[in-house]
Amino acid sequence: SQQGEEDPQALSIQEGENATMNCSYKTSINNLQWYRQNSGRGLVHLILIRSNEREKHSGRLRVTLDTSKKSSSLLITASRAADTASYFCATGGGSNYKLTFGKGTLLTVNP
Amino acid sequence: ETGVTQTPRHLVMGMTNKKSLKCEQHLGHNAMYWYKQSAKKPLELMFVYSLEERVENNSVPSRFSPECPNSSHLFLHLHTLQPEDSALYLCASSQVAGADEQFFGPGTRLTVL
């Protein structure tokens, strides 16, 4: 299975701090994506990193990918209360049509 | 929120009822997806449609019946459901099937009594 698994399951920080979430997966991938979900709502795509990339930035987000360790990390800098949400990594895409999601990390940013 | 809308947002039904979930995408995409999200479980892919043709049925019980009349609309027909089918059902679309980025609707919260 290509299933990603996020770590930690839950993370609570203060506003202004950085938040780091990790994702591990089991098989070769074409790309790895991070999504965000506010409570009971749909998922929102944050960032995609391809298997030949090592690091990518988007605003306050920084994603790294280490294909040798089959792991990725999502860093949110200078967190805000509005960043409170669940964050999921997803692997795959491509010809098998599937995105395989992990169980997510619940991030709580306290004001 | 996104270019993908879902109705209804909440649905309560008995095990003998028949109901349908509707999804519409306004993004001009060619692929649409149904996912099931249960508490404490990863998001589960149910069905994939590409240009109105079903290309993936991820071992979903026959009490769930999808329909894609055109590339903008996707339905999930429900009948004789079980309480364990209670979940958030999410629709998504992408430019082509298996494309990198998927756009999700807000979901339908289904409760089966």
The predicted model gives A78-104 an average pLDDT of 87
Residue B94 has pLDDT above 60, yes or no: yes
Paired sense of beta strands A10-14 and A105-110, if any: parallel
Segment A46-57 mean pLDDT: 95
> How confident is residue B92, by pLDDT bands cut at 50, 70 and 90?
very high
Whole-number Å distance between alpha carbons of A65 and A86: 20
Q: Which of B31, B56, B90 sits opposite A42 (nearest CB)?
A: B90
Asked if B42 and A3 come within 8 Å (Cβ–Cβ), the reply is: yes
Split at pLDDT 50, 70, 90, the class of A7 is confident
Give yes or no for residue B1 having a pLDDT over 60.
no
Instruction: Name every chain A residue with its beta carbon within 8 A of the beta carbon of B104.
Output: 35, 42-44
Three-class DSSP category at B84:
helix
> Could you tell me if B99 lies within 8 Å of chain A, comparing CB atoms?
yes
A46 touches chain B (CB under 8 A): no
For A3, the token pair is 């299933």
* pLDDT given for residue A3 in this prediction: 66
> Which residues in chain B touch residue A3, judged by CB atoms under 8 angstroms apart?
42
DSSP reduced 3-state for A95: helix
**Residue A32 near residue A67 (C-beta atoms within 8 A):** no
Residue pair A50/A31 in contact by the 8 Å Cβ criterion: yes
Out of B48, B55, B107, the one facing A41 most closely (by C-beta) is B107
Nearest to B98 among A48, A96, A100 (CB): A96
CA distance A98 to A2: 10
